[in-house]
Each structure stands twice: as structure tokens, then as C-alpha cells.
């Protein structure tokens, strides 16, 4: 299939590479040219413009947030000239944007699917992402080979694209809540003479097994926050999406408010580009625990 790919950040470039390795023809566009050149080296074609990307049979986008999607891809003029059958938005965006985007695309004869993914960059590089997809069933069938190339499993969540975004926002809220709880528990242990690695061994060997606690727990224990697989700044964005969605549907989310403030504190301390595990550093800072000569 001829695929247009927009957004070659940490996740996007690995996802585009998986499409190339699966034998698809991939035309790429990115605001910074370095990522485009790197993918061209792997066999991709560089698009001269966004409009050229939308000449492909299917367009996949992996952009940072609502603002990026709105400014780049929700132009009526751009969509009016599109030849693509479908646009698959794989970013974590708001349900409101998904509804608006679906309506705008439909008005120009282009299908719209939401398919945010779960997994860090290493999972993207291995084609091992979890794909949460929603939208028209025939279009999902059409792009399923692309999901198969990028992910290990696709969950189909109905015919309303925004349902996939709600699922992803909910999952990220739970992930960040777990990391914040682990950070606070680790600080409590350290303040009382318990090594973080020992606490982690107890937790993951008993009531909290699994990749979230073992993976993030090890990063917190080692104070290893770079390179970032999930940046704190994006976590702050995502919990904001959860709070907005909750307000819009009259669902109180008191824990999300606490989590937002914890993330905001980290970003205010200049840690926005660090991994989500740096919530552990905020918990240590609030507890006035000793700092090493050099923070990792």
C-alpha cells in the first residue's frame, strides 16, 4: 500500500520504519528535515509538501497534540485536494478534536479513523505496539495491514473515532497514577531507611507485578530519567485531556487533579523533557530527601 506518514518524532519514525520493513511504499513529511532524511535512508520517499502526502492511499499521522493536528491537517483547503481514502490519526488527542476532525474529513470525502497506540519507543521499534482503533469498519479493514506492521494487536472499539481517544486517555491516566503512587511510596521508603530497589523487589514480586511497576520502578530506583520514552510534558497534556473529558461528561476525577499538580510541579522545575519516571524526583524533592552531587 502507498502510505503517507506525517510526524516523525520519537514514536513516529519507528512506526514509519516498521511500515517500510513490511514492504509498504511510504512517503514521509516532518516539520524538521533531519528525521525525513533518516527515513529516506531506509527507503522512504520525501514529500515536497503536506498536500503531496495526502496523495497516498492512506495517510497516517503521529503528531504531538490537538494544536499540531489542527494547524497542520484540519485545513479545508488541504482536505479538498486530498486523494487519500482515509486519514488514520494515531496521536493522543481530545475526543472533541476527533469528532471535529471526523466531520471535516467526511465533508471532503476522506475517511477518518482514530488509532492511538500504547507502548514506548522500544515497542514501536519492535513493531510491538498496542493499537486502539475506532471508526468505520470497512476503513479499519482497509488499514489493518498497517496496524499489523506497527503493532502486536489491534483493539477495535466501535464506529465512533473518539472512543479510541477516550480509551487511550483513560489508560494514560491510570499509568501516570501508578507511577505517581510508586514515586511517593519510594520516597516514603527512602525517608525511613528502605532502599528503593528492595521496595521494588517486594512490590513487583507480590501485589504489583507487570511492566508498569517493574519498568518505571527500576527507573525511579536508579534515578534514570533519560532518554525519555514518555515525556513529562506530554503526560501533563494527557491528564489535562482526561480532566477536560471528565468535565465534559460530568465525571468527577479528583485523583486526576492531584496528578496534574504533581506533573505541573515537575514541568515547573524544568523536567518536562525527562521521562515520566522523573515523578520520582518530585516525590523526593517534596520529602526534602538528600540530593546527590549530580542528579541523573
Residue 188 CB partners (closer than 8 Å, separation 6+): 287
What's the average model confidence in pLDDT over 56-70? Answer: 97
Q: Which of 24, 105, 156, 168 is catalytic?
A: 168
pLDDT number for residue 291: 74
168 classed as catalytic: yes
Residue intervals in the chain for CATH 1.10.1040.10: 165-286
- pLDDT surpassing 80 at residue 292: no
What's the average model confidence in pLDDT over 125-146? Answer: 98
165-286: CATH number: 1.10.1040.10
Q: Which helix (H) or strand (E) holds 5?
A: strand 2-6
Average pLDDT in the chain: 96
Packing angle, helices 254-268 and 161-191, rounded to 10: 70
- Whole-structure pTM value: 0.93
Q: How far is the C-alpha of 257 from the C-alpha of 243, rounded, in Å?
A: 7
DSSP codes of every residue in 105-167 = HHHTT-EEEE--EES-HHHHHTT-EEEEEBS-HHHHHHHHHHHHHHEEEEEE--S-HHHHHHH
Nearest to 138 by CA among 179, 86, 181, 72: 86
What's the average model confidence in pLDDT over 171-186? Answer: 97
The residue behind cell 520514552 is: 229
Using a 10 angstrom Cβ sphere, with 0-12 exposed, 13-18 middle and 19 or more buried, the burial of residue 51 is middle
Residue intervals in the chain for CATH 3.40.50.720: 2-159
pLDDT tens, residue by residue, 214-266: 999 999 999 999 999 999 999 999 999 999 999 999 999 999 999 999 999 99
The b-or-e profile of 127-140 (16+ CB within 10 A means b, else e) is bebbbbbbbbeebb
DSSP codes of every residue in 41-82 = TTT-EE-SSHHHHTTSSEEEE--SSHHHHHHHH--HHHHHT-
Q: Which residues pair with 233 in a beta bridge?
A: none
Assess contact for 184 and 285: CB atoms under 8 A: no
* Class of the CATH domain delimited by 2-159: alpha beta
Give CA 200 to chain center in angstroms: 26
Give CA 96 to chain center in angstroms: 17
- pLDDT surpassing 50 at residue 295: no
Amino acid at each position: 500500500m502507498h502510505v503517507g506518514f506525517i510526524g516523525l518524532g520519537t514514536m513516529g519514525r519507528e512506526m514509519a520504519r516498521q511500515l517500510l520493513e513490511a514492504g509498504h511504499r511510504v512517503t514521509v513529511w516532518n516539520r524538521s528535515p533531519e528525521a525525513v532524511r533518516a527515513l529516506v535512508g531506509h527507503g522512504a520517499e520525501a514529500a515536497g509538501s503536506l498536500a503531496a502526502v495526502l496523495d497516498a492511499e492512506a495517510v497516517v499521522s503521529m503528531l504531538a497534540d490537538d494544536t499540531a493536528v489542527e494547524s497542520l491537517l484540519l485545513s479545508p483547503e488541504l482536505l479538498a485536494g486530498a486523494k487519500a481514502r482515509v486519514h488514520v490519526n494515531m496521536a493522543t488527542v481530545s475526543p472533541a478534536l476527533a469528532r471535529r476532525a471526523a466531520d471535516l474529513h467526511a465533508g471532503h470525502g476522506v475517511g477518518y479513523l482514530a488509532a492511538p497506540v500504547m507502548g514506548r519507543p522500544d515497542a514501536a521499534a519492535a513493531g510491538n505496539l498496542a493499537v486502539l482503533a475506532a471508526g468505520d469498519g470497512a476503513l479499519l479493514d482497509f488499514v489493518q495491514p498497517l496496524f499489523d506492521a506497527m503493532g502486536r494487536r489491534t483493539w477495535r472499539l466501535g464506529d465512533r473515532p473518539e472512543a479510541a481517544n477516550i480509551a487511550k486517555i483513560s489508560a494514560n491516566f491510570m499509568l501516570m497514577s501508578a507511577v505517581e503512587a510508586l514515586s511517593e511510596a519510594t520516597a516514603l521508603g527512602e525517608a525511613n531507611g528502605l532502599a528503593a530497589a528492595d521496595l521494588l523487589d517486594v512490590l513487583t514480586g507480590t501485589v504489583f507485578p507487570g511492566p508498569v511497576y517493574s519498568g518505571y520502578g527500576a527507573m525511579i530506583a536508579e534515578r534514570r530519567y533519560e532518554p525519555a520514552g514518555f515525556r513529562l510534558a506530554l503526560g501533563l497534556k494527557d491528564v489535562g485531556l482526561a480532566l477536560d473529558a471528565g468535565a465534559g461528561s460530568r465525571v468527577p476525577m479528583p485523583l486526576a487533579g492531584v496528578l496534574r499538580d504533581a506533573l505541573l510541579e515537575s514541568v515547573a522545575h524544568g523536567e518536562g523533557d525527562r521521562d515520566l519516571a522523573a515523578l520520582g524526583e518530585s516525590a523526593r524533592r517534596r520529602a526534602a530527601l538528600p540530593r546527590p552531587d549530580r542528579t541523573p
